[in-house]
């Protein structure tokens, strides 16, 4: 009996060891399959040509195949990518996502077609996607208007709402789409497919044009811009300004494209959009060169202590608004996806409190609720 028991235990150990090995092999196969699928997916986008890369090198911002920030910047400032991912996946945060879809005001596309040169109206769709009507033009910032994100939607965060205030297909003609960088939550393949035939111009950071061309956008409608480059449309100036971030849509193209913040100017009004990025000296420089701004759309959300140089805390977002000399602030980069280890509405709660301390007007519209300059800012606390 003792011999039989030892044999049983030995067989069990072998079975457990074999099961463990099979599990590791299966996990490896799934990872390889996922990576292969993502790399073969058209969502990955395109690659800049060697001639384009040579031109980027002449800007002084592109070294060894990667774009650089104005000041030294690390993607991870503490811990490791694995530890942050583990904490995000397996450590619960109270109120990480709203209990129900967020309040949304449907947007009437006919109202957008009635262009008024003196009107400045900003409509936020959640996360960073925003429509700015200014100078008689329709300008779209980072139009991520899909419910699912990226080529592997089963592993990426899900949008809180099953639908948006308006779909990409319902939008009228757009004068310009401005992209801040090529991450999936800002440059969305499916949205571009629906928008591309109704957009007059795409203005993008260096390198991002390769993605759009790969998705069927004519090269003649895509203009890559370096920091401080500007374009003049009738009644509107668009300026690419610095940001402090990083880029990449795959495992092997980190920082192969650039990133940007954006300035919109008319003779009477100015609007600033930060894109993504950490706090830095560039905000004060932008304020001195291009401010003051009637409204600043500032990244505010999806932050972590380990991302201190590539994303801002809400208090830093308020300080950035003060640095660019904004008369009012609209916090964006929240209200759509949970991408960091904090409550879904913590960004707006902290930003609102910090703005009050500095007596900075702050807009907190519902999704799809327009902000019209010259009218009272929407400030209801619907997110509480």
Residue with structure tokens 């990667």? 66
Please state the pTM of the whole predicted model: 0.90
Ramachandran angles phi, psi of 13, nearest 5°: -60, -45
Under the banding of pLDDT at 50, 70 and 90, the label for residue 35 is: low
Q: Taking 90 as the threshold, does the pLDDT of residue 88 lie above it?
A: no
Under the banding of pLDDT at 50, 70 and 90, the label for residue 53 is: very high
Strands 230-233 and 222-225: unpaired
pLDDT of residue 293: 98
Which pLDDT tens digit goes with each residue over 286-305?
999 999 999 999 999 999 99
Q: How far apart are CA 118 and CA 374, in angstroms?
A: 11
Q: How far apart are CA 336 and CA 350, in angstroms?
A: 17
Q: Taking 90 as the threshold, does the pLDDT of residue 82 lie above it?
A: no
Tokens of 328: 């009012």
**In order of start, what are the domains of the chain with their CATH numbers?**
109-372 (3.60.15.10)
Under the banding of pLDDT at 50, 70 and 90, the label for residue 361 is: very high
Which pLDDT tens digit goes with each residue over 128-145?
999 999 999 999 999 999
Q: How far apart are CA 145 and CA 143, in angstroms?
A: 6
Q: Taking 80 as the threshold, does the pLDDT of residue 378 lie above it?
A: yes
Q: Taking 70 as the threshold, does the pLDDT of residue 15 lie above it?
A: no
Is there a contact between 279 and 319 (Cβ–Cβ < 8 Å)? yes
């Amino acid at each position: 009996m003792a011999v039989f028991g030892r044999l049983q235990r030995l067989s069990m150990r072998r079975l457990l060891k074999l099961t463990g090995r099979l599990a590791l092999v299966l996990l490896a196969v799934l990872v390889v399959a996922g990576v292969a699928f993502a790399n073969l997916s058209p969502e990955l986008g395109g690659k800049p040509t060697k001639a384009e890369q040579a031109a980027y090198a002449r800007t002084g911002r592109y070294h060894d195949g990667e774009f650089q920030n104005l000041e030294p910047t690390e993607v991870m400032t503490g811990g490791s990518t694995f530890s942050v991912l583990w904490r995000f996946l397996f450590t619960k945060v109270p109120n990480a996502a709203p209990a129900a879809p967020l309040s949304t005001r449907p947007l009437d596309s006919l109202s957008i077609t009635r262009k008024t040169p003196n009107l400045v109206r900003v409509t936020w769709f959640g996360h960073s996607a925003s429509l700015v009507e200014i100078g008689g033009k329709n300008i779209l910032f980072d139009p991520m208007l899909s419910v699912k994100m990226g080529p592997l939607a089963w592993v990426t965060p899900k949008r809180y709402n099953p639908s948006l205030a308006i779909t990409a297909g319902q939008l009228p003609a757009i004068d310009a789409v401005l992209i801040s960088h090529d991450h999936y939550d800002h440059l969305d393949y499916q949205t571009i497919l629906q928008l591309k035939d109704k957009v007059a111009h795409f203005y993008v950071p260096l390198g991002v044009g390769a993605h759009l061309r790969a998705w069927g956008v004519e090269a003649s409608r895509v203009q890559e811009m370096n920091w401080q480059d500007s374009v003049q449309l009738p009644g509107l100036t668009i300026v690419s300004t610095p940001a402090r971030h990083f880029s990449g849509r795959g495992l092997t193209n980190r920082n192969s494209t650039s990133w940007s913040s954006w300035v919109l100017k008319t003779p009477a009004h100015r609007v600033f959009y930060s894109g993504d990025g950490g706090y830095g000296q560039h905000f004060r420089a932008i304020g001195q060169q291009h401010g003051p701004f009637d409204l600043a759309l500032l990244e505010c959300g999806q932050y972590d202590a380990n991302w201190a140089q590539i994303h801002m805390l809400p208090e830093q977002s308020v300080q950035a608004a003060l640095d660019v000399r904004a008369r009012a602030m609209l916090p964006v980069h929240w209200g759509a996806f949970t991408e960091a280890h904090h409550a879904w509405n913590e960004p707006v709660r902290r930003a609102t409190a910090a703005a009050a301390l500095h007596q900075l007007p702050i807009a907190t519209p519902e999704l799809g609720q327009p902000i019209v300059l010259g009218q009272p800012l929407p400030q209801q606390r619907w997110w509480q």
